[in-house]
Amino acid sequence: MNDGRVLVVDDTLFNRRLLVRLLTGIGHEVLEAGDGREALAILRAPDAPSVDVILLDILMPVMDGYETLEALKADEALRDVPVIVISGVDELESVVRCIQIGAADYLPKSVAPEILRARIEASLAQKRLHDLERATMAEQALLLGTIERQRSELSRFLSPQVAALVSSEDGETLLAGHRREITAMFCDLRNFTGFSEQAAPEEVLGFLRAYHAVMGELIVTYEGTLEHFAGDGFMTFFNDPALQDDHAVRAVRLAIAMRDRFVALADEWRRRGHVLEIGIGIATGYATLGRIGFEGRYDYGAVGNVIIHAARLSGEAGPGEILIAPGTFAAVEADIEANHAGDRQLKGYSRPIPVHAVVGMRSTEAV
């Protein structure tokens, strides 16, 4: 059984034959070259066999050992092959030069067979370890590439934050369920039912595609987590799964951006005879978040009064209105312009709740 493949590079046939007999006697397959140029031609041939160790002479015609060693170390495909210099040149300067270029070892031509065998075995072990490391790195790169492709594919169907969560190491813990303060935002269309009754199905679908594209882009820009969207509405929350210290402000900024961007969409459809508006509700509070659904069809969602509160405010909002709950107002009061919109008796609540309507941000600071 061959232990490895060794390339012997020496211009003296007698020396090569001695090395070939020694190497084949201890189980190695041996290739031969008379100088550096011939050795490089063998190594770079399209069907070149892999070489595990190179034994290299220094004094050779055409291309000597120094030049050959430099060429090997400059070649990305060959630089990791161990090179043992075996030379009659025993000056210290030559030894240092070869080691500096990248030789694994430097031996005299009078070296004992036992020592040469030991040095070759050590170089083979080093080469195999390096090959294993490269294979492991390649497998890791392949795995990372697979994960990124899967994450990219998941992002087409899930919120980017949830797609990243599913493919992360600690994702299972969060998916199992956890409690966290979030800011929830509902956005619903006004007059959508009438629009659906009057417009052709193709028109409705065309509008929804444009509407979803614009609003979806804004949700990603402001780093919200999209829980779901129905035909005419979105439910988005902030501060989960990624933590956001400014989650309430982010939600209000997103709502303002949605209101502003919707104007162009509404104008286009108004020219076609359809009046469409949006109403937005925002609330801040604690929720339980995690995997919701059944085997084969799971979503990442939030459960809690904060979700109900935001949904009720959205339903209460007039055309183009952004209504925010007391908790949200307290968190963003210094950053926004808002008007007190009275105490509203929201469906399912035992008493009226004070509500504010957002006018805009106090500054034009970017996201």
pLDDT at 366 (0 to 100): 45
Burial of 85 (0-12, 13-18, 19+ CB in 10 A): buried
Which CATH code of 3.30.70.1230, 3.90.1150.10, 3.30.9.10, 3.40.50.2300 fits the domain covering 169-361? 3.30.70.1230
3-state secondary structure the chain: CCCCEEEEECCCHHHHHHHHHHHHHCCCEEEEECCHHHHHHHHHCCCCCCCCEEEECCCCCCCCHHHHHHHHHHCCCCCCCCEEEEECCCCHHHHHHHHHHCCCEEEECCCCHHHHHHHHHHHHHHHHHHHHHHHHHHHHHHHHHHHHHHHHHHHCCCCHHHHHHHCCCCHHHHHHCEEEEEEEEEEEEECHHHHHHHCCHHHHHHHHHHHHHHHHHHHHHCCCEEEEECCCEEEEEECCCCCCCCHHHHHHHHHHHHHHHHHHHHHHHHCCCCCCEEEEEEEEEEEEEEEEEECCEEEEEEECHHHHHHHHHHHHCCCCCEEECHHHHHHHCCCEEEEEEEEECCCCCCCCEEEEEEEEECCCCCC
Rounded Cα–Cα distance for residues 155 and 210 (Å): 19
pLDDT at 87 (0 to 100): 84
Q: From first to last of its 367 residues, what are the pLDDT tens digits of the chain?
A: 446 889 999 999 888 888 888 888 888 889 999 999 999 999 999 888 888 899 999 999 889 999 999 999 999 888 888 999 988 887 888 888 988 998 888 888 877 788 888 888 887 777 777 766 666 666 666 655 655 555 554 454 455 666 666 556 666 666 777 899 999 999 998 888 888 888 888 888 888 888 888 888 898 899 888 887 766 788 999 998 888 999 999 999 999 999 999 998 888 888 888 888 999 999 999 999 887 777 766 677 888 999 999 999 999 999 999 999 999 999 999 999 999 999 999 988 889 999 999 999 986 544 4
pTM score: 0.57
Query: What sign for the dihedral angle of Cα 209, 212, 218, 220?
Result: negative
Domain ranges of the chain: 5-138, 169-361
pLDDT at 154 (0 to 100): 46
For the chain, report the end-to-end CA distance as a whole number of angstroms: 66
Measured CA to CA in angstroms, residue 278 lies from 32, 41, 97, 185, 198 at distances of 80, 72, 76, 13, 19
Tokens coding 52: 């595990």
| Total Cβ atoms within 10 A of residue 75 | 14
pLDDT at 1 (0 to 100): 42
Rounded Cα–Cα distance for residues 263 and 211 (Å): 11
pLDDT at 259 (0 to 100): 94
Domain spanning 5-138: which CATH class is it, in words?
Answer: alpha beta
Burial of 203 (0-12, 13-18, 19+ CB in 10 A): middle
